[in-house]
Amino acid sequence: MKVILKKDVNNLGRSGEIKVVKDGYARNFLLPRDMVELATEGALKAWKNSADKRAKRVSTEDAALKELAKRLDAVTLSFSRPVSEDGVMFGSVAKSDIIKNLAAADMEVSKEMIKLPASLKAVGTFEVEIALKMDIAAKIKVAISAQSK
């Protein structure tokens, strides 16, 4: 099935590209999430006519995301969690904790942007990557300390 990408899709392509995908992938995943449009003759004409507007919008979005990436690179989030006498941490720091702290600092990111394979379950300083777009990423520092009793 031939489709036009409305949004950047990981492992598929960027917004505005025309791709051929399997029918089931388009029907069951891409179309319900409004990520693509069927590449009919009329849709292709309309898509080509709006190319200039789309390019301007994408460039302004990219500039805003690059600015956010610069701000995120300077961020260090601090968390304190209770720790047992053996040094085992109770609880963890998850994506939702990171999102809440960034929102408090007036930086909005979604859960899908945070590249954290598992919750952080140890005391220390960690780097967490935030992929704002396919080619725009930032790294924040997450410092976890033992909570005083």
| 98 CB-contact burial (10 Å; exposed 0-12 / middle 13-18 / buried 19+) | buried
Helices and strands counted in the chain (H then E): 4, 7
pLDDT in tens, 18-43: 999 999 999 999 999 999 999 999 98
From the number of C-beta atoms within 10 Å of its C-beta (0-12, 13-18, 19+), residue 69 rates as middle
Q: Which residue has the tokens 């099935």?
A: 1
- Architecture in CATH of 68-146: Roll (3.10)
pTM for the model: 0.72
Whether domain 2-49 has CATH 3.40.5.10: yes
Q: Where exactly are the structural domains of the chain?
A: 2-49, 68-146
**What is the token pair recorded at 2?**
């031939």
pLDDT of residue 30: 93
Give the tokens for residue 25: 């992938």
Helix H segments across the chain? Answer: 23-25, 41-49, 51-73, 95-104
Which residues of the chain fall short of a pLDDT of 50?
none
